[in-house]
Structure 1
């Protein structure tokens, strides 16, 4: 199944959808397929040269190389910019699903235990029983694994078995080259927990938004006259933060409306929320949260400046400043 694009769908509950595809409906697709062939067959009068597409660009959006291999040719050959945008959104979603599935598996937990042991002590050999003890920490009794089970799993990592200590305990030789690549693959953070130390799937990032900032107010007594009391300081600081937030939102609106969305629309036909956030982060900085971008996009939609040509996609309306027809 790794050679296929798998899309898990929900069970159909609608009774108006036919079980078998009607032949007459299938015939409606015939002229579209014929026109596609005419436009893409070299030597024919209506032949249109395909726009070059560099699959390497997908590495900026998708972290999983297997997903790039599966979706890359489809995205490159898709004649519709809107279709490319939909395929890219599906590819990012599948890449993130694979990441979450990997990080919740046994292999990821074993690597987390190895990483934690390595942080505690640098050594050439580690007893399997010690690794098992760290692996079983904070687990229910029925979830714990034996050193024998763990030893078999460690051998699959390509780690050489050995003996250590006076009692000749079963152990493994540390292989920095082999394990460091696995640590990066699973995004292990410095504290040994499973995280996302380097994530290119834009939907996987989690950054704080302006409203999550905790204000550290200076100490002061509540006074009168020319000095500000504590309540006055809170009001003044909150007002300043609110003013800054409104300025940032206004700036973000202009950026999306006049630069980011028009550019994505020219390249792909429409823009998705992850792609809008990605481009905004490149221009503003990676501290920008996807939640804030989503709020701004919804606001622009309510104002009638952008619209949804299809679920999850956005385009400029004709009445918007950047969408006016010359």
Structure 2
């Protein structure tokens, strides 16, 4: 242990893990991942292009949707290099600094996405429960400030995690269990006392996603109470229909988060192949499906997409 105490790091890289004992099939496994990444990046880029170029969509609901698309693009860009590097080039090595940077961006973008979903639920709450004050509360100059608060909040809360990790000494195995650097996995590689990271990681989770999910739940309880008091059944269904896309996105995001937590807690008992596959899919699912949900469910975006591709064909 004396050599460990004298040296900050015993090794200079972490080794990421692909599908265990499936190296021969990595090229075939990479095909669906590439397909999912293409759908995610192209779909979210189309949503951003449509919202930017169509003045009729310069409304709070769609601006919040563009913020969601940006965060999902960020998560895709943060995770794609290591996953495709493993499956296409069998490149498993990642430097410590690059690993810390990746986990910072992954976790901070997840926190930002959770905050944006909270803003979108607030938008629906004001639109349904207090429609007369909607335009005065959610003004266009105020929305970018709300987005900036989400970004600063997510980055400020997550920033201590890689800083703590950088001060640790790593003398255990340098083989990580997944294809990306995640805080829960990296801190287990340290031979230092990780209780601060463990406690702060739980605190960060509760302060961001835990608090956001609670506020989203409360907002929908108040929305439901308001909608049930509407006499007209047609008006009631119309009000609920405006929430369906956001509600599907919320369920998809938090279901993925719960799935990841379950895998990290009980994954040791499952097949390594299934564990790594599910972790990668859970990170890709929200960014791949959210723009499809909004594209199908939102009439304005659906019509604009159809016009966009119709013009290209002609």
Report the TM-score range of the alignment, normalised by the length of the smaller protein. Answer: under 0.3
State TM-score, norm by structure 2: 0.27
State TM-score, norm by structure 1: 0.26
Larger Rg: 1
Q: Which structure dedicates a bigger proportion of its chain to helix?
A: 2
Higher relative contact order (CA 8 A, sep 6+): 2
Q: Which structure dedicates a bigger proportion of its chain to strand?
A: 1
